[in-house]
Structure 1
Amino acid sequence: MRALPGCILVLSLTGCSWIHSPASSTANQHTAITPFSSPLTSHKPAVRPLPAKLYKSAEELVGKPFRDLGEVYGSTCQVNLQDPPPSIAAARKDMQVRAARMKGNAVLLHQCEMVRSVAGCYAQAVCQGTALKVTQ
Protein backbone atom coordinates (compact mmCIF):
# COMPACT_ATOMS: atom_id res chain seq x y z
CA MET A 1 0.00 0.00 0.00
CA ARG A 2 2.90 2.35 0.67
CA ALA A 3 4.23 1.90 -2.87
CA LEU A 4 0.99 3.12 -4.49
CA PRO A 5 1.43 6.84 -3.59
CA GLY A 6 5.07 6.62 -4.70
CA CYS A 7 4.09 5.17 -8.08
CA ILE A 8 1.42 7.82 -8.57
CA LEU A 9 3.96 10.53 -7.77
CA VAL A 10 6.48 9.16 -10.25
CA LEU A 11 3.85 8.85 -12.98
CA SER A 12 2.58 12.37 -12.39
CA LEU A 13 6.11 13.77 -12.59
CA THR A 14 6.93 11.99 -15.83
CA GLY A 15 3.63 12.99 -17.42
CA CYS A 16 3.10 11.72 -20.91
CA SER A 17 6.75 11.52 -21.88
CA TRP A 18 6.57 7.76 -22.33
CA ILE A 19 3.80 8.20 -24.96
CA HIS A 20 5.94 10.45 -27.18
CA SER A 21 7.33 8.65 -30.18
CA PRO A 22 10.46 9.98 -31.92
CA ALA A 23 9.82 11.87 -35.14
CA SER A 24 10.74 10.12 -38.34
CA SER A 25 13.67 11.79 -40.00
CA THR A 26 13.12 12.79 -43.59
CA ALA A 27 15.15 14.91 -45.96
CA ASN A 28 12.41 17.59 -46.07
CA GLN A 29 12.47 18.43 -42.32
CA HIS A 30 14.78 21.39 -41.76
CA THR A 31 13.03 23.24 -38.96
CA ALA A 32 12.25 22.11 -35.47
CA ILE A 33 9.16 23.41 -33.72
CA THR A 34 9.59 24.08 -30.04
CA PRO A 35 6.57 23.87 -27.76
CA PHE A 36 6.74 27.56 -26.80
CA SER A 37 7.30 29.16 -30.20
CA SER A 38 4.89 29.10 -33.05
CA PRO A 39 5.34 30.85 -36.38
CA LEU A 40 1.61 31.61 -36.49
CA THR A 41 1.43 33.54 -33.24
CA SER A 42 3.01 36.91 -32.83
CA HIS A 43 3.33 38.54 -29.46
CA LYS A 44 2.22 42.15 -29.63
CA PRO A 45 2.46 44.38 -26.61
CA ALA A 46 -0.84 45.18 -24.94
CA VAL A 47 -2.34 48.43 -26.15
CA ARG A 48 -3.19 50.75 -23.30
CA PRO A 49 -5.90 53.31 -23.80
CA LEU A 50 -4.80 56.93 -23.85
CA PRO A 51 -5.99 58.93 -20.85
CA ALA A 52 -9.26 60.75 -21.39
CA LYS A 53 -9.29 64.54 -21.71
CA LEU A 54 -9.92 66.31 -18.41
CA TYR A 55 -12.64 68.96 -18.13
CA LYS A 56 -12.48 70.87 -14.84
CA SER A 57 -15.86 72.58 -15.20
CA ALA A 58 -19.17 71.92 -16.93
CA GLU A 59 -18.87 75.23 -18.81
CA GLU A 60 -16.10 73.73 -20.94
CA LEU A 61 -18.63 71.21 -22.30
CA VAL A 62 -21.22 73.80 -23.43
CA GLY A 63 -22.08 73.23 -27.08
CA LYS A 64 -20.36 69.85 -27.26
CA PRO A 65 -22.57 66.77 -27.60
CA PHE A 66 -21.61 64.06 -25.11
CA ARG A 67 -22.89 60.92 -23.47
CA ASP A 68 -22.54 60.17 -19.75
CA LEU A 69 -20.82 56.79 -19.18
CA GLY A 70 -20.91 56.79 -15.38
CA GLU A 71 -18.89 57.71 -12.34
CA VAL A 72 -15.13 57.14 -12.23
CA TYR A 73 -12.57 57.59 -9.52
CA GLY A 74 -8.82 57.53 -9.22
CA SER A 75 -6.61 57.16 -6.18
CA THR A 76 -3.05 56.85 -4.96
CA CYS A 77 -2.08 55.50 -1.56
CA GLN A 78 0.86 56.01 0.78
CA VAL A 79 1.02 52.74 2.67
CA ASN A 80 3.63 53.84 5.22
CA LEU A 81 5.83 56.84 6.00
CA GLN A 82 8.72 55.54 3.86
CA ASP A 83 6.60 55.53 0.68
CA PRO A 84 6.35 58.65 -1.47
CA PRO A 85 3.37 60.83 -0.57
CA PRO A 86 0.23 60.46 -2.68
CA SER A 87 -0.36 63.09 -5.34
CA ILE A 88 -3.51 64.61 -6.72
CA ALA A 89 -1.96 64.53 -10.22
CA ALA A 90 -1.45 60.75 -10.06
CA ALA A 91 -5.00 60.20 -8.78
CA ARG A 92 -6.37 62.39 -11.58
CA LYS A 93 -4.35 60.43 -14.19
CA ASP A 94 -5.67 57.14 -12.74
CA MET A 95 -9.22 58.48 -13.07
CA GLN A 96 -8.59 59.47 -16.71
CA VAL A 97 -7.23 56.01 -17.56
CA ARG A 98 -10.25 54.35 -15.93
CA ALA A 99 -12.56 56.54 -18.03
CA ALA A 100 -10.67 55.51 -21.18
CA ARG A 101 -11.14 51.84 -20.25
CA MET A 102 -14.88 52.54 -20.20
CA LYS A 103 -14.52 53.72 -23.84
CA GLY A 104 -14.76 57.35 -22.74
CA ASN A 105 -12.66 60.12 -24.22
CA ALA A 106 -13.26 62.75 -21.52
CA VAL A 107 -13.75 63.16 -17.78
CA LEU A 108 -15.67 65.90 -16.00
CA LEU A 109 -13.83 66.40 -12.71
CA HIS A 110 -16.03 66.70 -9.63
CA GLN A 111 -13.46 66.85 -6.84
CA CYS A 112 -10.03 65.78 -5.67
CA GLU A 113 -8.95 65.59 -2.06
CA MET A 114 -6.31 64.24 0.29
CA VAL A 115 -7.67 61.78 2.85
CA ARG A 116 -6.05 60.64 6.09
CA SER A 117 -6.86 57.64 8.29
CA VAL A 118 -7.96 55.32 5.49
CA ALA A 119 -7.72 51.58 6.16
CA GLY A 120 -4.47 50.30 4.63
CA CYS A 121 -3.15 53.79 3.76
CA TYR A 122 -1.28 56.36 5.80
CA ALA A 123 -2.55 59.01 3.36
CA GLN A 124 -4.54 58.82 0.14
CA ALA A 125 -5.33 61.12 -2.77
CA VAL A 126 -8.76 60.53 -4.31
CA CYS A 127 -10.39 62.10 -7.38
CA GLN A 128 -13.99 61.64 -8.52
CA GLY A 129 -15.57 62.50 -11.85
CA THR A 130 -17.89 61.44 -14.64
CA ALA A 131 -16.68 59.52 -17.68
CA LEU A 132 -17.96 61.01 -20.92
CA LYS A 133 -17.98 60.17 -24.61
CA VAL A 134 -17.70 63.56 -26.34
CA THR A 135 -18.45 63.69 -30.06
CA GLN A 136 -16.91 66.48 -32.12
Structure 2
Amino acid sequence: MRALPGCLFVLLLTGCSWLHQKPSTANQTAPVSPFQNNSPAHKTSTRPLPAKLYKTADELVGKPFRDLGEVSGSTCQVSLQDPPPSLSAARRDMQMRAAHMKGNAVLLHRCEIVRAVAGCYQQAVCQGTALKVTQ
Protein backbone atom coordinates (compact mmCIF):
# COMPACT_ATOMS: atom_id res chain seq x y z
CA MET A 1 0.00 0.00 0.00
CA ARG A 2 2.91 2.34 0.63
CA ALA A 3 4.26 1.72 -2.86
CA LEU A 4 1.08 2.92 -4.59
CA PRO A 5 1.64 6.67 -3.97
CA GLY A 6 5.27 6.29 -5.05
CA CYS A 7 4.28 4.52 -8.27
CA LEU A 8 1.63 7.14 -9.03
CA PHE A 9 4.19 9.90 -8.47
CA VAL A 10 6.66 8.24 -10.86
CA LEU A 11 3.92 7.78 -13.51
CA LEU A 12 2.91 11.41 -13.07
CA LEU A 13 6.46 12.60 -13.65
CA THR A 14 7.00 10.43 -16.71
CA GLY A 15 3.63 11.43 -18.13
CA CYS A 16 4.42 15.13 -17.80
CA SER A 17 7.86 14.73 -19.31
CA TRP A 18 6.34 12.86 -22.23
CA LEU A 19 4.11 15.88 -23.00
CA HIS A 20 7.10 18.23 -23.19
CA GLN A 21 9.27 16.18 -25.56
CA LYS A 22 10.74 18.07 -28.50
CA PRO A 23 9.48 17.10 -31.96
CA SER A 24 11.80 15.31 -34.35
CA THR A 25 14.36 17.43 -36.17
CA ALA A 26 13.03 16.36 -39.59
CA ASN A 27 10.11 18.82 -39.39
CA GLN A 28 11.98 21.70 -37.77
CA THR A 29 12.96 24.84 -39.62
CA ALA A 30 15.92 27.07 -38.93
CA PRO A 31 15.41 29.48 -36.02
CA VAL A 32 14.57 33.03 -37.05
CA SER A 33 16.21 35.94 -35.31
CA PRO A 34 13.95 38.96 -34.82
CA PHE A 35 16.85 41.23 -35.77
CA GLN A 36 17.58 39.65 -39.15
CA ASN A 37 15.97 41.03 -42.28
CA ASN A 38 14.97 37.92 -44.22
CA SER A 39 12.69 39.78 -46.64
CA PRO A 40 13.81 40.55 -50.19
CA ALA A 41 15.31 44.00 -50.74
CA HIS A 42 12.77 44.90 -53.45
CA LYS A 43 9.69 44.28 -51.30
CA THR A 44 7.46 47.35 -51.16
CA SER A 45 5.52 48.65 -48.19
CA THR A 46 2.08 47.12 -47.79
CA ARG A 47 0.74 50.17 -45.96
CA PRO A 48 -0.32 52.93 -48.36
CA LEU A 49 0.38 56.57 -47.68
CA PRO A 50 -2.62 58.62 -46.54
CA ALA A 51 -4.55 60.34 -49.30
CA LYS A 52 -4.26 64.11 -49.72
CA LEU A 53 -7.06 66.04 -48.03
CA TYR A 54 -9.06 68.64 -49.97
CA LYS A 55 -11.30 70.74 -47.74
CA THR A 56 -13.30 72.44 -50.52
CA ALA A 57 -14.34 71.51 -54.04
CA ASP A 58 -12.68 74.72 -55.29
CA GLU A 59 -9.27 73.12 -54.68
CA LEU A 60 -10.12 70.48 -57.30
CA VAL A 61 -11.05 72.93 -60.08
CA GLY A 62 -9.02 72.12 -63.19
CA LYS A 63 -7.77 68.79 -61.87
CA PRO A 64 -9.08 65.64 -63.53
CA PHE A 65 -10.29 63.10 -60.97
CA ARG A 66 -12.42 60.00 -60.59
CA ASP A 67 -14.89 59.47 -57.73
CA LEU A 68 -14.17 56.18 -55.90
CA GLY A 69 -16.98 56.39 -53.34
CA GLU A 70 -17.77 57.59 -49.86
CA VAL A 71 -15.28 57.11 -47.01
CA SER A 72 -15.47 57.83 -43.31
CA GLY A 73 -13.16 57.74 -40.34
CA SER A 74 -13.81 57.80 -36.63
CA THR A 75 -12.30 57.67 -33.16
CA CYS A 76 -14.16 56.75 -30.02
CA GLN A 77 -14.02 57.80 -26.37
CA VAL A 78 -15.37 54.69 -24.65
CA SER A 79 -15.69 56.17 -21.16
CA LEU A 80 -15.33 59.53 -19.44
CA GLN A 81 -11.86 58.53 -18.19
CA ASP A 82 -10.51 57.94 -21.74
CA PRO A 83 -8.93 60.78 -23.71
CA PRO A 84 -11.42 62.76 -25.81
CA PRO A 85 -11.89 61.74 -29.45
CA SER A 86 -9.66 63.50 -31.95
CA LEU A 87 -10.91 65.04 -35.19
CA SER A 88 -7.40 64.84 -36.66
CA ALA A 89 -7.24 61.10 -35.92
CA ALA A 90 -10.67 60.64 -37.54
CA ARG A 91 -9.47 62.58 -40.62
CA ARG A 92 -6.31 60.45 -40.79
CA ASP A 93 -8.43 57.28 -40.55
CA MET A 94 -10.60 58.53 -43.41
CA GLN A 95 -7.52 59.31 -45.51
CA MET A 96 -6.10 55.83 -44.90
CA ARG A 97 -9.40 54.22 -45.92
CA ALA A 98 -9.35 56.21 -49.15
CA ALA A 99 -5.78 55.06 -49.80
CA HIS A 100 -6.86 51.45 -49.31
CA MET A 101 -9.46 52.06 -52.04
CA LYS A 102 -6.53 53.07 -54.32
CA GLY A 103 -7.42 56.73 -53.97
CA ASN A 104 -4.84 59.48 -53.61
CA ALA A 105 -7.17 62.24 -52.38
CA VAL A 106 -10.22 62.85 -50.20
CA LEU A 107 -12.75 65.65 -50.55
CA LEU A 108 -13.86 66.39 -46.98
CA HIS A 109 -17.61 66.77 -46.45
CA ARG A 110 -17.76 67.16 -42.68
CA CYS A 111 -16.10 66.37 -39.37
CA GLU A 112 -17.93 66.51 -36.07
CA ILE A 113 -18.02 65.26 -32.50
CA VAL A 114 -21.08 63.10 -31.81
CA ARG A 115 -22.42 62.24 -28.36
CA ALA A 116 -24.50 59.28 -27.18
CA VAL A 117 -23.28 56.79 -29.78
CA ALA A 118 -23.69 53.10 -28.92
CA GLY A 119 -20.44 51.92 -27.31
CA CYS A 120 -18.90 55.41 -27.16
CA TYR A 121 -19.21 58.27 -24.72
CA GLN A 122 -18.21 60.63 -27.55
CA GLN A 123 -17.12 59.91 -31.12
CA ALA A 124 -15.26 61.99 -33.70
CA VAL A 125 -16.56 61.25 -37.19
CA CYS A 126 -15.31 62.52 -40.57
CA GLN A 127 -16.97 61.85 -43.92
CA GLY A 128 -15.75 62.51 -47.41
CA THR A 129 -15.36 61.20 -50.94
CA ALA A 130 -12.37 59.12 -52.02
CA LEU A 131 -10.86 60.39 -55.26
CA LYS A 132 -8.23 59.33 -57.77
CA VAL A 133 -6.71 62.63 -58.94
CA THR A 134 -4.53 62.55 -62.06
CA GLN A 135 -2.00 65.32 -62.49
1:111 is aligned to 110
1:95 is aligned to 94
1:84 is aligned to 83
Q: Aligned partners of 2:131 and 2:19: how far apart in 1?
A: 53
Superposed CA RMSD: 3.0
Q: Aligned partners of 2:37 and 2:57: how far apart in 1?
A: 49
The residue identity in structure 1 corresponding to 2:66 is: R
2:39 is aligned to 42
Shift of 1:46: 4.9
TM-score normalised to structure 1 length: 0.71
The residue identity in structure 1 corresponding to 2:58 is: E
Residue 81 of structure 2: SS of its match in structure 1? coil
Identity %: 72
Q: Aligned partners of 1:42 and 1:73: how far apart in 2?
A: 34
Q: Aligned partners of 1:46 and 1:106: how far apart in 2?
A: 19
Which of the pair is proportionally richer in helix? 2
Q: Aligned partners of 1:34 and 1:57: how far apart in 2?
A: 55
Shift of 1:55: 0.7
Q: Show CA shifts across 1:56-93 (max 9, x none).
A: 11111111000111110000000111111001111111
1:59 is aligned to 58
Shift of 1:49: 1.5
The residue identity in structure 2 corresponding to 1:98 is: R
Q: Aligned partners of 1:15 and 1:34: how far apart in 2?
A: 15
Q: Aligned partners of 2:37 and 2:84: how far apart in 1?
A: 46
Q: Aligned partners of 2:45 and 2:82: how far apart in 1?
A: 29
Q: Which sections of structure 2, spanning at least 5 residues, go unmatched?
A: 1-16
1:126 is aligned to 125
Q: Which sections of structure 1, spanning at least 5 residues, go unmatched?
A: 1-9, 22-32
How many residue pairs match? The answer is 117
